[in-house]
Amino acid sequence: MASSAAAIPQAAKSKSFVSRMFGGDQIAFAITWTFAAFILLITATLVWQLWVKSMPARDKFGFEFFTTTTWDPPGEKFGALPFIYGTVVTSFVALLISVPLGVGAAIFLSEMAPRKLSNIATFLVELLAAVPSVIYGLLAIFTLIPLLRTIGEPLLQSTLGFLPFFDGPMYGVSFLAAGFILAIMTFPFIISISREALMEVPREQREAALALGATKWEATWQAVVPHARLGIMGSVFLGLARALGETMAVTMVIGNTPTISASLFSPGSTIAASIANEFAEASGDVYKASLIYLGLVLFLLTIVINGLARILIIATTRKGST
Amino acid sequence: MDARTRRRYFVNSLMLGLTGVCTLLTVSILFMILGYLVWNGGKALDWAFFTKLPKPPGEVGGGMANAIVGSAKLILLASAIGIPIGFLAGVYLSEFGGRTFPYIVRYVCDLLNGVPSIVIGIFAWTLIVVPMKHFSGWAGGAALSLMLIPIATRSTEQFLRSVPLSMREGSLALGASKWRTVASVVVPASMTGVLTGMILGVARIAGETAPLLFTCLGNQFWSDGFNTPTASLPVMIYTHAISPYDDWHRQAWAAGLVLLVLVLVSNIAARLIMSRGTAPGS
pLDDT at residue B92 tops 60: yes
Instruction: Give, in order, the Cα–Cα distances in Å from B15 to each of A112, A254, B12, B20, B40.
Output: 11, 34, 6, 9, 37
- For B164-211, the pLDDT digits (tens) are 999 999 999 998 888 889 999 999 999 988 999 999 999 999 999 999
pLDDT of residue A74: 86
> Which of A20, A110, A131 is most worth mutating to test chain B (most B CB atoms within 10 A of its CB)?
A131
Residue A75 CB partners (closer than 8 Å, separation 6+):
none
Instruction: Considering only residues B276 and B151, tell me which one the structure prediction assigns the higher pLDDT.
Output: B151
Residue contact A38–B85, C-beta within 8 A = yes
Which residues of chain B neighbour A320 with C-beta distances below 8 Å? none
User: b/e per residue, A84-116, with b = 16+ CB within 10 A?
Assistant: bbbbebbbebbbebbbebbbbbbbbbbbbbeee
A241 and A129 Cβ atoms separated by less than 8 Å? no
- Structural domain includes residue B165: yes
The reply to whether A252 touches chain B by the CB within 8 Å rule is yes
Which residues of chain A neighbour B260 with C-beta distances below 8 Å? 131-132, 135
What is the C-alpha separation between B225 and B214, in angstroms, rounded? 18
The reply to whether B272 touches chain A by the CB within 8 Å rule is no
Our count of domains for chain B comes to 1
Task: Report, in angstroms and rounded to the nearest whole number, the Rg of chain A calculated over CA atoms.
Answer: 27
The reply to whether A256 touches chain B by the CB within 8 Å rule is no
Residue A297 sits in a domain of what CATH number?
Answer: 1.10.3720.10
Which residues of chain B neighbour A232 with C-beta distances below 8 Å? none
Distance of CA A142 to the CA centre of its chain: 25
Residue contact A245–B180, C-beta within 8 A = no
Which residues of chain A neighbour B216 with C-beta distances below 8 Å? none
Distance of CA A51 to the CA centre of its chain: 22
Which residues in chain B (137-166) have CB-CB distances under 8 A to chain A?
A: 146, 149-150, 153-154, 158
Residue contact B18–A33, C-beta within 8 A = no
Which residues of chain A neighbour B180 with C-beta distances below 8 Å? 24
- Structural domain includes residue B103: yes
- Structural domain includes residue A27: no
- Structural domain includes residue B241: no
What is the C-alpha separation between B225 and A115, in angstroms, rounded? 51
- Structural domain includes residue A49: no
- Structural domain includes residue A11: no
Instruction: Give, in order, the Cα–Cα distances in Å from B279 to each of B161, B163, B191.
Output: 10, 7, 8
The reply to whether A23 touches chain B by the CB within 8 Å rule is yes
Residue A13, amino acid: K
- For B27-67, the pLDDT digits (tens) are 888 788 889 999 999 998 889 899 888 888 878 888 899 99
What is the C-alpha separation between B237 and B260, in angstroms, rounded? 11
Residue A62 CB partners (closer than 8 Å, separation 6+):
none
Q: Domain of residue A90: give its range.
A: 59-316
- Structural domain includes residue A18: no
- Structural domain includes residue A50: no
Q: How close A204 gets to chain B, by Cα (Å)?
A: 20
- Structural domain includes residue B271: no
Instruction: Considering only residues B71 and A315, tell me which one the structure prediction assigns the higher pLDDT.
Output: B71
The reply to whether B41 touches chain A by the CB within 8 Å rule is no
Residue contact A46–B154, C-beta within 8 A = no
pLDDT of residue B278: 47
Half-sphere exposure of A169 (CA within 13 A, CB side): 3
- Structural domain includes residue B112: yes
User: b/e per residue, B174-184, with b = 16+ CB within 10 A?
Assistant: eebebbbbbee
- For B113-149, the pLDDT digits (tens) are 999 999 999 999 999 999 998 899 999 999 999 999 9
- Structural domain includes residue A227: yes
Per DSSP, the residues of chain B read --HHHHHHHHHHHHHHHHHHHHHHHHHHHHHHHHHHHHHHHHHH--HHHHHSPBPPTT---B--HHHHHHHHHHHHHHHHHHHHHHHHHHHIIIII--SHHHHHHHHHHHHHHHS-HHHHHHHHIIIIIHHHTS--HHHHHHHHHHHHHHHHHHHHHHHHHTS-HHHHHHHHHTT--HHHHIIIIIHHHTHHHHHHHHHHHHHHHHT--GGGTTTT---SS---TTSS----HHHHHHHHHTSS-HHHHHHHHHHHHHHHHHHHHHHHHHHHHHHHSSS---
Residue B213 sits in a domain of what CATH number?
Answer: 1.10.3720.10
Q: How close B222 gets to chain A, by Cα (Å)?
A: 21
The answer for B133, left when phi > 0, alpha when psi is -120 to 50, beta otherwise, is left
Instruction: Give, in order, the Cα–Cα distances in Å from A311 to each of A232, A244, A314, A321.
Output: 12, 19, 5, 10
Q: Domain of residue B217: give its range.
A: 73-232
- Structural domain includes residue A124: yes
- Structural domain includes residue B40: no
Task: Report, in angstroms and rounded to the nearest whole number, the Rg of chain B calculated over CA atoms.
Answer: 24
Which residues in chain B (91-110) have CB-CB distances under 8 A to chain A?
A: 91-93, 95-97, 101-102, 104-106, 108-110
A209 and A218 Cβ atoms separated by less than 8 Å? yes
Residue contact A291–B122, C-beta within 8 A = yes
Residue contact A108–B16, C-beta within 8 A = yes
- Structural domain includes residue B176: yes
List the Cα angle A137/B30/A131 in 5-degree steps: 50
Instruction: Considering only residues B265 and B276, tell me which one the structure prediction assigns the higher pLDDT.
Output: B265
- For A230-246, the pLDDT digits (tens) are 889 999 999 999 999 99
> Which of B5, B23, B120, B271 is most worth mutating to test chain A (most A CB atoms within 10 A of its CB)?
B23
What is the C-alpha separation between B138 and A195, in angstroms, rounded? 41
A275 and B80 Cβ atoms separated by less than 8 Å? no
pLDDT of residue A4: 45
The answer for A62, left when phi > 0, alpha when psi is -120 to 50, beta otherwise, is left
Which residues of chain A neighbour B182 with C-beta distances below 8 Å? 28
Mean pLDDT, range B146-172, rounded to an integer? 93
Query: SS3 for A305?
Result: helix
- Structural domain includes residue B23: no
> Which of A83, A135, A317 is most worth mutating to test chain B (most B CB atoms within 10 A of its CB)?
A135
Go through chain A and tell me how many residues it has: 322
pLDDT of residue A22: 61
Per DSSP, the residues of B53-96 read PBPPTT---B--HHHHHHHHHHHHHHHHHHHHHHHHHHHIIIII
Residues of chain A where predicted confidence (pLDDT) is lower than 70: 1-22, 316-322
Residue B124: count of CB within 10 angstroms of its CB: 28
Half-sphere exposure of B102 (CA within 13 A, CB side): 17
Our count of domains for chain A comes to 1
Residue in A39, A218, A279 nearest the CB of B153: A39
Mean pLDDT score of chain B: 90
What confidence category does residue B265 fall into, taking pLDDT thresholds of 50, 70 and 90? very high
Query: SS3 for B8?
Result: helix
